[in-house]
Amino acid sequence: MMSFSAVREIAGLLRRSRRTLFITGAGISADSGLPTYRGIGGLYENRETDEGFAIEDALSGEMLRRRPEVTWKYIAQIERNCRNAGPNPAHAVIARLERELPCVMVLTQNIDGLHRAAGSRNLVEIHGDLHKLRCVACGHREEIVSLEGRSLPPVCPSCGGKVRPEVVLFGEMLPEDALGRFLEELSIGFDLVFSIGTTSVFPYIAQPVVQAIQAGVPTVEINPGRTHLSEHVRYQLPVGAAAALNEILVWYEREGSA
């Protein structure tokens, strides 16, 4: 259960915050009906692909180069699960706070594009966006609504070359532009940091929270499960993202009218 005193304190911190960071993972999209890829109820929970590969191998940069049809088969499966999903109240609350507070930044691991669809603009999609494609031969880029009706692997409409999704596959480097932009903002600092719906296993996802904890900056983790950060953050709300952010918003509005 949520501590309502904690929720009220978090809402007060939001009202006073000049620079707020939201770090989000697959859990924030759960209320949009999107499954996580691993874990309880995950899309690939405890099973291999049809070809006998671990999903991490099927969705790797090496597999895309060696057997692109395998990688694209599972990219298409993920896209099909994302299709017709829309932003949920958690995405909407964060987008609203960006409009109302001096500075709100979102660092997301998600490739579903739902933060952008909700209206977030100060956004770093560190793993890319499933709906953006790029030709590896001529550099042609396009943004798609879905892969329905497309040949797999897709071919470039300009030169007929190989096309890849603009996402970070397993074994690939993070995009320099996105990472550089985030590190620049992180160097300025934040006075309130949220970690929402992520297990924080990647160092670049956990480090901003750890850095905030070490600096005495208030930190909030919203996650129904426990992570290695749970006992260290100032506030841990063991519920889903939409329920927690909706309740925080209620108290945020009361703070504003007080």
Q: What is the DSSP string of 19-54?
A: SEEEEE-GGGGGGGTPPPSSSTT-TTTT---TTS--
State which amino acid sits at residue 136. V
Neighbours of 26 (CB within 10 A): 22
User: Using CA atoms, how far apart are residues 115 and 98, in angstroms rounded to an integer?
Assistant: 11
User: Using CA atoms, how far apart are residues 108 and 117, in angstroms rounded to an integer?
Assistant: 13
C-alpha dihedral, 97 to 105 to 206 to 175, nearest 10°: 150
Beta strands in 25-176 (DSSP E): 104-108, 123-125, 128-135, 141-143, 163-167
Say if residues 257 and 250 touch (Cβ distance below 8 Å).
Answer: no
18 phi/psi in degrees, rounded to 5: -95, -30
User: Using CA atoms, how far apart are residues 9 and 220, in angstroms rounded to an integer?
Assistant: 11
Q: Catalytic residue positions?
A: 127
